[in-house]
Amino acid sequence: MLTWLTLAMLAAFLGLVLSGRVSVVVALVGVPIVFALLAGAGGDLGGIVGDGIATVAPTAALILFAVLFFSILLDAGLFDPLITVLRRFARDDPMRVVLATAVLTLLVAVDGDGSSTYIIVVSALLPVYRRLGMRVELLAVVAVMAAGTATLLPWGGPVIKAATALDVDVVEVYAPLVVPQLAGAAAVLGLAAVLGSRERSRLGAPRERVAVAPAAGTDPPSAAVQGDEPAEQDLRRPRLAVANLVLALAVMAPLIAGRVEPVLLFVAGTVVALLLNYPDPATQARLLRRHAPNAIPVTVLIFAAGVFTGVLSGTGMAESLATSLAALVPPDAGAAVPLATALLAFPLTFVVQQDTFYFGVLPVLSGAAAQFGVPAEAVARAAVVAQPLHAYSPTVAALFLLLGLLRLDYRAMVRLGVPCGLAVSAVVLAVALLTGAVPLP
């Protein structure tokens, strides 16, 4: 009964969000509260919601200060040289612009933080999209599938979570995934070329695009991403470029190495960036107000997601769903668990939070596979192959930061994005099967 109630809750959430009847925040909070009451958890609801919010509080703080940190460095002009190189490569060719989007995202996303990746990519390329009248949906679609592919790195969240859930070494999980990940990156570039070619055909030759107005969805974004506005020139600090680069590396190096708590890095980094570039308190206050439209909505969204996941775990819904799914695996089909895990990961990591799948479903599936001599590392690899598709999930907070920066609606992007994410994930899985990273039964 609880499993069916859980499935009904997930269906109601996705239906409301995809239909546009309510905002994502309203759905994340309202739907689980209603279903928690239906599950008879009304008396414990306060504690359940509180526990859920407490669980996501570090993530909310991390994203809040990560947005502020990189936005301040963007204002100071740290990424101006990179932006210049990319714009020269892209010129006025839409296909080059879309390819530049894919390449930049794949490179920047190695830090494992989706929020900072999207801020940098949007800052670098949104002015080009607007000037050429290109559809901003393409920027979002390509950036998301590239970022999803890059998260397969060993310090990316999915690989770490899968390895942690099964108590295996993260390097043992990742090493066989190198070739599948490279194949996924190649698929991203191929799809970017196709999408860019179509956009080039839609817009016509360069001389025909001179008077083209910005496409739908290209309304002026918040100040954080208007990198070429004259009003921002007073915030540039070219003389501090080296110091800002050192600061960025000082934050990112321990983040990638996993030596220091990420929240501490970005909190301290934000303070240092403000003091270094803008020691005047009035200017500091101005910058905080300037970037609040980017930082606050996604922070609210994360806390709302905490309500959703808190109800899932606190009412026993997540455990019930995991048990029911594991029961679908026949006792004599353990050798097929890695492939089944990969196939289950496609829909499940899209509709539920990753933690539910990795820590709820994955250990049960791995236990069944172990009876047939299938190593846990293989099951862990299978669980992460759908990351390019998962990156488009409405449960991914960084995605809504990207949409906020671009002033895009989720529905406008997901119709094109999900097929692209599905295609890249299928390539990753196919190559993983061919190389033995995910064993066949």
**Each residue's pLDDT expressed in tens, for the chain with a length of 441 residues:** 788 898 898 888 878 876 778 887 898 899 999 999 998 888 889 999 999 888 878 878 877 888 888 888 888 888 777 777 777 887 789 999 999 999 999 988 865 667 778 888 887 888 889 888 899 999 999 999 999 999 887 766 788 778 877 778 777 888 899 999 999 999 999 999 999 999 999 987 554 444 344 444 444 444 444 444 444 678 888 889 899 999 989 988 887 676 788 789 889 999 999 999 999 999 999 999 888 887 787 788 778 878 887 888 888 887 787 677 667 766 666 678 889 889 989 988 887 777 767 776 787 777 767 767 788 899 999 999 999 999 998 878 788 888 888 888 888 788 899 999 999 999 999 999 999 999 887
Tokens of 237: 């600090």
Long-range contacts of 138-141 (CB under 8 A, 24+ apart): 138/98, 138/101, 138/195, 138/196, 138/199, 138/416, 139/101, 139/406, 140/402, 140/403, 140/406, 140/408, 140/413, 140/417, 141/195, 141/413, 141/416, 141/417, 141/420
- Give domain status of residue 168, yes or no: no
Over the stretch 71-88, which tens digit does the pLDDT of each residue have? 888 888 887 777 777 778
Q: Which of 234, 267, 296 is the last residue of a domain?
A: 296
8 Å CB contact between 376 and 370: yes
Domain boundary among 296, 315, 339: 296
Instruction: Indicate if 121 and 18 belong to the same structural domain.
Output: no
Q: Are residues 103 and 89 in the same domain?
A: yes
The verdict on 73 and 214 lying in the same domain is yes
Do 8 and 129 lie in a common domain?
no
Written as six digits, the tokens of 44 are: 């414990």
* Residue 165 falls inside a structural domain: no
Is 64 in the same domain as 128?
Answer: yes
pLDDT at 327: 72
- Domain range enclosing 122: 55-156+178-296
Q: Which of 296, 317, 333 is the last residue of a domain?
A: 296
Same domain (yes/no): 354, 287: no
pLDDT of residue 220: 43
**Quick one: 31 and 133 in the same domain?**
no
Cα–Cα dist 173/361, whole Å: 18
- In tens, the pLDDT along 19-68 reads 778 887 898 899 999 999 998 888 889 999 999 888 878 878 877 888 88
Query: Based on the domain organization, do 292 and 336 belong to the same domain?
Result: no
Could you give the number of structural domains in the chain? 2
Dihedral angle computed from the Cα positions of residues 175, 178, 180 and 186, in that order, rounded to the nearest 10 degrees: 170
Same-domain status, 96 and 205: yes
Q: Residue 12 and residue 34: Cα distance in Å, rounded?
A: 11
**Residue 111: predicted pLDDT:** 58
